[in-house]
Amino acid sequence: MNLVTVQTHDALVPASTPPAARRRGRRQVRLRLFSVAVSFAMLVSWGLVSGLGLVSPLFLPSPWRVAHQAVVLAQNGYAGATLWGHAGASQARVTIAFAIASALAVPIGLAMGANRWVKAGLDPVIEFYWPLPPLAYLPLVIIWFGIGETAKITLLTLAMFAPVCLAAQSGVRSVAIERVHAAQSLGATRWQVFAHVLLPSALPEILTGMRIAMGVGWGTLVAAELVAATKGIGFMIMSAANFLATDIVFVGIAVIAVLAIASSLVLRVAERLLVPWRGRG
Amino acid sequence: MLSVSNATVHYEAADGRLIHALQDVSLGIDDGELVVGLGASGCGKSTLLNAIAGFVKLTSGSITVDGAPVTAPGADRGVVFQRDTLLPWASTLDNVAFGLRLRRIGKRERRERAMELLRLVGLDAFHAAPPWQLSGGMRQRVGLARALATDPKILLMDEPLGALDSLTRESMQELIVKLWARTHKRVLFITHSIEEALILGTRIIVFSPRPGRIVQRFDVGFVHDVLAGRDASEMKADPSFVALRQEIRALIHAGAGA
């Protein structure tokens, strides 16, 4: 076969040159150090303010008292359940609600982004409910679903649904029309355009929406465990507050923070594995 | 034969004005012809291409490919876009094979054909790379290979070299001419560069804006000189080349001023 030979003037785009990369790396290290230093300074001022007795421990327990309380809770538990039992119950609720919310919101959001009739039909409902604070509709959820696990998971699911749904919609709508045209002129059917172009194009935004939803879920946890819970970090915080056990409240807050950061990290890793092309077209 | 007769496209702009993007355009493209649509921006040349591709509906008139009327986009009309439309999650090879995959052609066969096309555009060494690791010129070559993979009856190229630097652009022009001569495809190539039109086209159709219509057609033969290996800079200095370039420039300026 007589192949056409091509003279080319373009080459691979060079990866960032080593010196620039090193400079960027050093700046990253300095920024990280600054973050750690500021956090440490805040911890020290907390210790000083509480340690010197400037504020009553009822309002602000000292860091070592909170740390000690954490150890005690880890060993003895709280209100009939271990600290791990409380954390596990909360983690399970958030995880189940996240799974349900994602399973519903991704297809609905994609359909809303791809079809204006679906969007016109569902937009009013979603636009109406999503800015509402979950505490506002908590009483309704309890009246409808009772005081068991169903109500708690329903509340979390409702709160986590909107960010994923909106992200999936916007992911579909931000696909360049030329990319759709290109697939169509290669013979793609409507379904193939959806499966091979719209869905993967929307994936980076969907994953971002999921990360936001995870944050919203943890943010709604205390509200979800407000009524008739016997287990869960949110329950532990509210119950301890009734007894003015401020140090236990602090431990609860710290546990939620750690779990929320861990969930976010897991999703970030998933993003890196699923959409390595992110931000590159 | 691609046949466009009395194609007219009117649409309403965002502010409610009626835009006459294309007015009574008729055109035929035969086997082995490389027709270049030339004109200033907003003259309707891209609208014509989009209508042939099936992206834009005609207000009146008709378009047929080998007698079959065009109603929607289809694999019989391959398109190369100005903007990069490669799929970033797929390798270069899978991008070229995309149209074959949509046709449910087996993995081994579509990879073989895609690899052959990548060799044709000189990118077989990059088959495993994702498109975002390639330069702009390389990506356009992948786009060209992808459009050829489904063996379309006509190749529609919408300012495919518009975003490239001049050196890359020249080598791409050479590649397009060689591929055209090799595959003998019918090509409609849209550009606003007069020199590019003269180098590539067997026929040049000059558009004038508001309403977009064809004001003049030129049969030209410089593309055969390019194929014969004539030096491009020498050809651009050829008196007949210069005269034609001047004539077309005057024509476009007159149209734009009207």
User: Residue B113 has which token pair?
Assistant: 């054909």
Locate the DSSP E strands across chain B: 2-12, 18-29, 34-38, 60-65, 68-69, 77-80, 154-158, 186-191, 203-208, 213-219
Per-residue pLDDT tens digits for A43-65: 999 999 998 888 888 899 999 99
Q: Rounded to an integer, what distance in angstroms lies between the CA atom of residue A250 and that of residue A236?
A: 11
B192 with B40: CB under 8 angstroms? yes
For the residues A131-141, what does the mean pLDDT come to? 92
Question: Can you list the residues of chain B whose pLDDT is less than 70?
Answer: 255-258
pLDDT-based confidence at residue A3 (cuts at 50, 70, 90)? very low
Q: Give me the residue from B87, B99, B168 closest to A10, CB to CB.
A: B168
**B122 inside 8 A of chain A by CB:** yes
pLDDT at position A10: 43
- Touching check for A274 and chain B: CB below 8 Å? no
DSSP structure string for B210-254: TTTEEEEEEE--HHHHHHTT--HHHHHTSHHHHHHHHHHHHHHHH
Mean pLDDT of A3-11: 43
Residues A165-201 have pLDDT tens digits of: 999 999 999 999 999 999 999 999 999 999 999 999 9
Residue A196 in contact with partner chain B when CB distance is under 8 A:
yes
From the list B138, B156, B178, the residue facing A4 with the nearest CB is B178
Q: Any idea what DSSP says for residue A52?
A: T
pLDDT, residue B16, reads 84
Closest Cα in chain B to A176: B85
Token pair of A104 as six digits: 């519903």
For residue A18, what pLDDT is reported? 65
Strands B2-12 and B77-80: unpaired
Query: Count of CB contacts below 8 A, A vs B?
Result: 113
List the one residue out of B76, B99, B72 whose CA is nearest residue B2: B76
Contacts of B79 in chain A (CB under 8 A): 181-182, 185
Report the DSSP pairing between strands B203-208 and B213-219: antiparallel
The contacts of residue B126 (CB under 8 Å, 6+ apart) are B92, B118, B133, B134, B138
A217 residue type, one letter: G
CB B96 within 8 A of CB B117: yes
Contacts of A57 (CB under 8 A, 6+ apart): A50, A65, A246, A247
Which residues in chain B have their CB less than 8 angstroms from residue A199's CB? Answer: none
Strand partners, B36: B189, B204
For B71, the token pair is 């109603």
Are residues A178 and B83, on separate chains, in Cβ contact within 8 Å? yes
- Note whether A281 contacts B133, CB cutoff 8 Å: no
Q: In this structure, are residues A172 and A193 in contact, taking their beta carbons and an 8 Å threshold?
A: no
The single-letter code of the amino acid at A231 is: K
Alpha-carbon span B23 to B47, nearest angstrom? 11
Residue A254's identity, in one-letter code, is A
Binding-face residues of B in 73-102 toward A, CB within 8 A: 73-75, 77-79, 81, 83-89, 98-99, 101-102
Any CB–CB contact under 8 A between B168 and chain A? yes
Closest-CA distance, A8 to chain B, in angstroms, reads 6
* Residue A70 exposure: Cα atoms within 13 Å on the Cβ side: 14
pLDDT score of A17: 56
A203 within 8 A of A274, measured Cβ to Cβ: yes
Would you place residue A226 in the very low, low, confident or very high pLDDT band (cuts 50, 70, 90)? Answer: confident
B183 in contact with A at a CB cutoff of 8 Å? no
Is pTM beyond 0.90? Reply is no
Assess whether pLDDT exceeds 80 at residue A156. Answer: yes
Would an 8 Å CB–CB cutoff place B134 in contact with chain A? Answer: yes
Asked if A118 and A111 touch (Cβ cutoff 8 Å), the reply is: yes
Residue of B nearest to A191 (CA): B102
Chain A residues inside the 8 Å CB shell of B77: 185
pLDDT of residue A14: 46
Cβ contact, residue pair A9, B121, below 8 Å: no
Least Cα separation, residue A268 to chain B (angstroms): 18
**Mean pLDDT over residues A119-137, rounded?**
92
Nearest CB among A181, A196, A280 relative to B55 is that of A181
Q: Give, in order, the Cα–Cα distances in Å from B168 to each of A180, A221, B171.
A: 27, 57, 5
